[in-house]
Structure 1
Amino acid sequence: MSEQRSHAPQEPQRRPRVSRNRKKPHRTKAASALLYVLFVVGLSAVLATVGWIWANDLLALNKEYTSAIVKVENDEKFSDVVDSLKDNGLIEYKFLFHLYGLFSNASDKITPGTYELNTDMDYRALVTNMSSSSSTRQTIDITIQEGYTIDQIFQLLEEKGVTTVEQLQDMSANWDYNFSWLKDLPLGDYHRLEGYLFPDTYTFYLGEDPKYVINKMLVNFESKMEDYMDQFNEESKYSLHDIVTIASMIEKETDGEDYAKISSVIYNRLENTNAETQGYLQIDATLVYLNGGKVPTEADKAIDSPYNTYLYQGLPAGPISNPGMTALYAALNPENTSYYYYVLNPETKKHEFTKTYAQHQALVEKYGVEE
């Protein structure tokens, strides 16, 4: 007999499980809440920062002062006006001004014309000052003569109704104008801008912003001196302030023709301290600056002031007037002479120059003038 085998199915063997002891990652509710808070705070900070930056532009906050002339042509597009504002540094974000214009109907308010604008004006003020209503403001042309002192300029501007002496003095003393060549002149005394208010004919609004008035004259100074600025550096024998100081004395001393000769006398005295003059400039105009514009006396020569060039050697403490371009050029380019003295001929109203004190004294006696 054949052997019978059972073919019943057998239960498959199970593989032993290996315990891996693995934990499922999970976040607690507290951690999730913290992450959400951090996200909200971070997003809020970003939005607050962006919002503050936009607000600075919209409301004209924390902007460096500058001014510009903006011309709006007939049929000019609003976008062209916005481009002009941006190009002149009056706004930072064109899209924001476009947005403001959309909600304020600014394009309907702006009219053709030439406008004086500045960075103290917020968006609303910019639009207002480019409207027909602003063109009704009265303007005045004022000529500032070469050699005017800062006090004379401020007094003239007040007399003409542009602004007040007090406001001009405050903005001169305490406003930080955005010019690199002013950075070494400390704030606090309005005379710090003496020499830099360029003499010229200006057009101002009556009741003008004093910052704009001063800035306009400083911009003019920079424009006139632009070709000469590169020569002033740490290695220069004379700084820009020195040159302006020398020019201010030339402007007050000249007879109208002898700028370069007066300049040569000043440089000869400055650079040859072993000469008879011993480094003293002895410029009468510095005494006039000290005594308030009066004819100088012997007593004035004893005034203890760094502006007194009879009492102290070298240059005075700063400019004594606001010189024009002819005097500034003479200060940069003195004539090559051996002169140390000059006397005004009372008949010709012209200066006569000499090399020695003896020659000078002879002319003083000849013309009967005070030394």
Structure 2
Amino acid sequence: MSQEEKKSRNGGRREAEPERREKKPSRRRRRAGISGVLLYVLFIIGVSAFLAGVGWVAANDVLALNKPEHTAIITIADGEKFGNVIDDLKENGIIEHKSFFWIFSVMTKSKDKIAAGTYELNTDMDYRAIITNLGSHSASRQEVTVTITEGMTVAQIFQLLEKSGVSTVEKLNDTAANHDYKFSFLENIPLGKATRLEGYLFPDTYKFYMGQDPLYVINKMLVTFDAKLTEEMRQQILDSDRTIAEIVTVASLIEKETDGTDQGKIASVIYNRLDHPNAETAGFLNIDATIYYVTGKTVTQADYQGVESPYNTYLYKGLPPGPIANPGMVAIRAAMNPDSTGYYYYAMNSKTGLHEYSKTYAEHQQKLASFGD
């Protein structure tokens, strides 16, 4: 066929070109596509895991699941902002996430249910229980002020609280003996006796309500002790190779043996006797206040040997088993920072009302004779 005939059959058009074949994507492009899909899938999985984790964290806090046991005292002032209340809950370890608590409060319309007052909360409470407790209007109950003075014993404190109408001695003793308060300084003190808290009910002025829960009352004093013993003080005690229990015990002896003016010197005598058991004193503290703690009455020195108790520092060497009173901060600091002296003896001069100190037993006897008692 001639070229003209071909042209005529095609209507004067050129013969159509064959269709082009699609090129297969290169291996590099296929790999890039697979990688993109994989990254997207991993992203979706990651986001899902994150959201699931957030959901679990939220549930753990909202429902109080798997939270370590902890009790705290929360005080809400009249007109206090709700945000400040949430801050207090967070700082005291009752909640973990302020934003979740805020959202819960808004959704349940419970912000306005909170009342001014002092409350005891714990980590066993879920958000609803926290709100309920903070709205219990305990502030409407009669409030009393109780002053615990330095050197008071657990027994004396509980008697004062009963006299003030806060609780009864029986309830306070039972709670002190058997409730496992979660404070590090109580970890090695066994349950069973109210005196296990001796030394740790910090002297201060407290506000309580009539008929208050003894768990709250005792916890408030323990929280105060815990707050007063700063991290710097704890580190200093640790560096001294002594324990908090030993420091508090020495502080209680100082509190009972001084009039508040010479704690450092009394502390030096106690430590000199403890740290030099081969001295004349042979490791005996010979502190009258430990006898009184056991007997509750004044006993003559002639009868001291007959008082069978590990608290009898005339009969047993070293420190008594625990504190004999609840010391204040001055005595605690004196126990941590005793004066540097060579004294092993002291005695009260009845004429001056002051302690006089001696390095030897002979010197001590001479001073006693000079007092003319």
**For residue 206 of structure 1, what is the aligned residue in structure 2?**
210
**For residue 118 of structure 2, what is the aligned residue in structure 1?**
115
- In the alignment, the residues of structure 1 paired with residue 327 and residue 306 of structure 2 have an alpha-carbon distance, to the nearest angstrom, of 26
**For residue 35 of structure 1, what is the aligned residue in structure 2?**
none
Deviation at 1:358, TM superposition (A): 1.3
**For residue 303 of structure 2, what is the aligned residue in structure 1?**
299
1:281 aligned partner, one-letter code? L
Q: 1:317 to 1:87 in 2, by over 3 A?
A: closer
Q: Is the CA contact 2:70–2:93 (under 8 Å) kept in the aligned structure 1?
A: no
Q: 1:257 to 1:73 in 2, by over 3 A?
A: same
Offset from partner CA, 1:62-111 (integer Å, 9 cap, x none): 8422222234636x45x765565344333457687668757865334334
**For residue 234 of structure 2, what is the aligned residue in structure 1?**
229
**For residue 182 of structure 1, what is the aligned residue in structure 2?**
186
Q: Is residue 2:79 matched to residue 1:73?
A: yes
Deviation at 1:246, TM superposition (A): 0.7
Offset from partner CA, 1:309-338 (integer Å, 9 cap, x none): 100111111111111111111111111111
- In the alignment, the residues of structure 2 paired with residue 172 and residue 238 of structure 1 have an alpha-carbon distance, to the nearest angstrom, of 25
What does 1:126-205 align with in structure 2 at a 5 Å threshold?
126-131=130-135, 133-205=137-209
2:251 aligned partner, one-letter code? A
- In the alignment, the residues of structure 2 paired with residue 214 and residue 318 of structure 1 have an alpha-carbon distance, to the nearest angstrom, of 19
- In the alignment, the residues of structure 1 paired with residue 87 and residue 274 of structure 2 have an alpha-carbon distance, to the nearest angstrom, of 51
Offset from partner CA, 1:219-266 (integer Å, 9 cap, x none): 211222213101334x74321111111110011001321111111111
1:141 aligned partner, one-letter code? T
Q: Is the CA contact 2:117–2:138 (under 8 Å) kept in the aligned structure 1?
A: no
Deviation at 1:139, TM superposition (A): 1.1
Offset from partner CA, 1:254-282 (integer Å, 9 cap, x none): 13211111111111111112211111110
What does 1:1-371 align with in structure 2 at a 5 Å threshold?
57=64, 63-71=69-77, 73=79, 76=81, 81-82=85-86, 84-91=88-95, 105-111=109-115, 113-119=116-122, 126-131=130-135, 133-226=137-230, 227-233=232-238, 236-369=240-373
Q: 1:108 to 1:265 in 2, by over 3 A?
A: closer
- In the alignment, the residues of structure 1 paired with residue 84 and residue 319 of structure 2 have an alpha-carbon distance, to the nearest angstrom, of 51
- In the alignment, the residues of structure 1 paired with residue 174 and residue 251 of structure 2 have an alpha-carbon distance, to the nearest angstrom, of 26
SS at the partner of 2:326?
Answer: coil
Q: 1:63 to 1:348 in 2, by over 3 A?
A: same
- In the alignment, the residues of structure 2 paired with residue 83 and residue 344 of structure 1 have an alpha-carbon distance, to the nearest angstrom, of 51
Q: 1:252 to 1:290 in 2, by over 3 A?
A: same
Q: Is the CA contact 2:61–2:95 (under 8 Å) kept in the aligned structure 1?
A: no
Q: Is the CA contact 2:58–2:100 (under 8 Å) kept in the aligned structure 1?
A: no
Structure 2, unaligned stretches of length 5 or more? Answer: 1-55
TM-score by length of 2: 0.75
Q: Is the CA contact 1:287–1:296 (under 8 Å) kept in the aligned structure 2?
A: no
SS at the partner of 1:185?
Answer: coil
Q: 1:316 to 1:335 in 2, by over 3 A?
A: same
1:134 aligned partner, one-letter code? S
- In the alignment, the residues of structure 2 paired with residue 83 and residue 314 of structure 1 have an alpha-carbon distance, to the nearest angstrom, of 46
TM-score by length of 1: 0.75
Q: 1:61 to 1:274 in 2, by over 3 A?
A: closer
- In the alignment, the residues of structure 1 paired with residue 312 and residue 224 of structure 2 have an alpha-carbon distance, to the nearest angstrom, of 29
Q: Is the CA contact 1:284–1:296 (under 8 Å) kept in the aligned structure 2?
A: no
RMSD over aligned CA atoms reads: 3.1
- In the alignment, the residues of structure 2 paired with residue 294 and residue 301 of structure 1 have an alpha-carbon distance, to the nearest angstrom, of 14
**Structure in which a larger fraction of residues adopt helix:** 2
Moved more, 288-297 or 323-332: 288-297
SS at the partner of 1:204?
Answer: strand
